Amino acid sequence: MSNASMDLAERLRAAGITVNTDASSEPENPWYVKALLALSAWLASLFLLVAMGAALAGLFDSRLALTICGLLLLAAAVLLLTRWRNDFNDNLGLALSLAGQVLVVFALNKGVDPDEASFWWSVCGLQAVLLAVPNFFHRAVVAAFAGGAFALALMASGWGHFAGSVLIALLAFVWLAELTRLRSVSLCQALGYGLAVSLLVVQYLRRWQLSELESAFAVQSSAAGALAAECLTLLVLCCVLGVLIKRQQFVVSMGQWAFLAVFIALLGAASWQAYGLLQAVVLLLLAFYGQNRLLFGVAATALLLSLSSYYYLLDTTLLIKSMTLLLLGILLLGARALFCYLWPGTKGDDTHALEVEP
């Protein structure tokens, strides 16, 4: 380091700014270099798997051979993702991990029928074990697969209505823990993003593929189960709201509590027809509280999909749909006016309307 650089470093330290003078530290690769390394890693893994498939095609008829090949690929992926870390190895390890999981699942398929709940519980257990690999993106992908397998396991067990409710409860626990536990922020974020993606998939299946899944798993939906699931989601919403109010130490009056109770009750009634509305509201609360733009994007997507699918599946005329939208707009504007009245803000001030205890 030159004398001018040393003088500048000393001046920065005197100003209270931390300066890293370690010459051995390398700068982070730019995004286009990472993209090229990722592309090359995925191509290399694809060529490797094609070569293995051509050379060992006869072995894939054996359940034991599939299991051994899958476990070997998973072991190689773990080594790449833990010990030999760089951008190329991270993507190659992720690709090998996905290929190994596919082979293990194919081997499991040869012994267990996919229509049985035990098959999907076994897949979910495999994903839970792979969550121990300390790689952020790998954990997020595995968490997404685990959430989907968990939902299918519940569907095969006859409890498919509770899939979205249980996933949103896990999401709330993970994101609230991410905001308080500094040692496990990376793990909580990876789990949160993965479960959020799986929640979107579960909502899509619940809206558009429910009858096909019920016929495939030989289960029958019930109104009581759907009502219990919505009540569970409503309970999760109330718990999240209560935790956020307690953490921010807001002082809430009786009129404000009454407004919140009526508003939550209306949301619960609306979610009975527009599936996923309560789940999207929970995600919005968590995104606003944690100031997480990516989670807010997922929540907004879930909200738009819920409302649009409800509008599309509503078996009425366009006039009735238009009147419904008009009434909803009037109710929302009235709720906003009442909210501003109960939580009066100060013009030109960024402080919250709710009083905070000293």
Phi/psi-derived region of residue 16, left when phi > 0, alpha when psi is between -120 and 50, beta in every other case: left
Q: In the chain, where do the E strands start and end? A: 250-251, 355-356
pLDDT at 354: 41
Say if residue 302 is exposed, middle or buried (CB neighbours under 10 Å; 0-12, 13-18, 19+). buried
Q: What is the DSSP letter of 348?
A: T
pLDDT at 345: 59
pLDDT at 16: 67
The rounded Cα 214 to chain-centroid distance in angstroms is 24
Residue 178 near residue 191 (C-beta atoms within 8 A):
no
pLDDT at 358: 39
Angle at 51 between CA 49 and CA 55, to 5 degrees: 115
The whole-number mean pLDDT for each consecutive block of 10 residues of the chain, a chain of 358 residues, reads 58 68 56 70 76 72 85 91 82 86 88 87 92 89 92 89 92 83 78 92 85 79 83 91 83 80 81 83 89 89 85 77 77 79 57 41
Among residues 20, 28, 23, which one has the least CA distance to residue 8? Answer: 20
pLDDT at 188: 86
Residue 134 near residue 82 (C-beta atoms within 8 A):
yes
Residue found under tokens 């096909």:
212
pLDDT at 351: 42
